[in-house]
Amino acid sequence: MFGRTDPFARTDRNVRRTGSAWSRRALSAVVLATVAVLSAACGSGQSGPVLAVGAGGTPQSDVLAEIYAQALARTGATAVVKTGMGNRKDLLAALDADTVVATGDVNGDLLTYLDPTATARKPDGDTPAVSVTRALNAALPEGLIVSDAADGTDLRPTVVALTTRTTEFPATLKDLAPRCEDLTFGISTAPALDAMRAPLDLDRDVRSPLDSVYGCKITHPVTYTTDADLMKALATGEVQLGVLSGPPSFLPDGGVDLTPIADSDYAFRAANVLAVIRKGALSDTQLRKLDYVAGELTTPDLADMIHQVRDSHAIPSSVARTWLDDHGL
């Protein structure tokens, strides 16, 4: 499934606006009152079994499930979202039990869950020891496959500086490494920016990878139990740099005052969105459709949809439909 290529992989983008008039009508208040249950079944000529896509009940999980379900529906299938299904363990069990045919996940997180001893950190490479793609394929249980990873998404933990102070620090962690011992790092151990992910552990998730990859030795760490407390510490100068559990764009204010310091050598394991799929449950056309989704989805897109659902209380199905329409999917 990974690395699958298709010479016609972008052909359906020539018909991007086919359903735009329908979409505008579907966003009316009357229809919104009913789409929460049946929103995914928006294709035409539907036949065959109902394809259920599982979600954990968090904004990110629900949005991804709606995107996948509605994309499948646009191939002519009948698709629904089952939300509130629990954590990764529960969702994988649902796939195994054929309760759902797909669910959204993050490649690096899933690899860590399936194989805690895995050493791969980069998205791609020649061996499973280097490539998260190869290592994940090797670690998947029998009967599961994955879609292409959305390369435009990057959900890794992020080292950040205040934008007003970026001239004081190098742009990359590699160049920052010689100064790490002299700097004070604030680490957020708050619930992760996506509730399906575990909070950061200071040593395992921050100090060890930064040291092993860059020789960045954090000798002055300060932990904060909320992201807001870390932001305050950065603003007052209590700490010089911060470490977040994900991209700063996922913060309630979008991380507007923060600038990431690039992790080009992947001290933090690759974390790209993908779909985990029950083998044999989807047709080739449906599988390609999910790969088209992967080719379009970006971190800013996902952050915007999460803000709409989490902060503005938008309906995930409506948010997903608008994104699919805007991207001709």
In this prediction, residue 131 carries a pLDDT of 96
pLDDT surpasses 50 at 6? no
Report, as an integer, the average pLDDT of 8-30: 35
In this prediction, residue 196 carries a pLDDT of 77
Read off φ and ψ for residue 76, nearest 5 degrees. 105, 0
Q: Residue 71's Cα: distance from chain center in Å?
A: 17
- Extract the tokens encoding 73: 């529906």
As a whole number, the mean pLDDT across the chain is: 87
**How large a percentage of the chain has pLDDT more than 70?**
86
Q: Which residues contact 228 (CB under 8 A, 6 or more apart)?
A: none
CA–CA dist 287, 119 (Å, integer): 29
In this prediction, residue 3 carries a pLDDT of 40
Q: Which residues contact 113 (CB under 8 A, 6 or more apart)?
A: 88, 89
SS3 for 78? Answer: strand
CA–CA dist 59, 308 (Å, integer): 9
CA distances 143 to 107, 214, 281, Å, are: 17, 38, 10
Q: For residue 44, what is the DSSP state?
A: S
Model pTM score:
0.84
In this prediction, residue 47 carries a pLDDT of 57
- Extract the tokens encoding 293: 């989704």
Helix H or strand E segment including 318: helix 316-326
Report, as an integer, the average pLDDT of 129-133: 95
In this prediction, residue 189 carries a pLDDT of 93
> What does the pLDDT look like over 200-256, one tens digit per residue?
999 999 999 999 999 999 999 999 999 999 999 999 999 999 999 999 999 999 999
CA–CA dist 249, 29 (Å, integer): 29
SS3 for 144? Answer: strand
> What does the pLDDT look like over 92-106, one tens digit per residue?
999 999 999 999 999
Taken in order 318, 27, 248, 290, the sign of the CA dihedral is positive
Would you report the helix, strand and coil content of the chain in percent, each value rounded to 5? 40, 15, 45
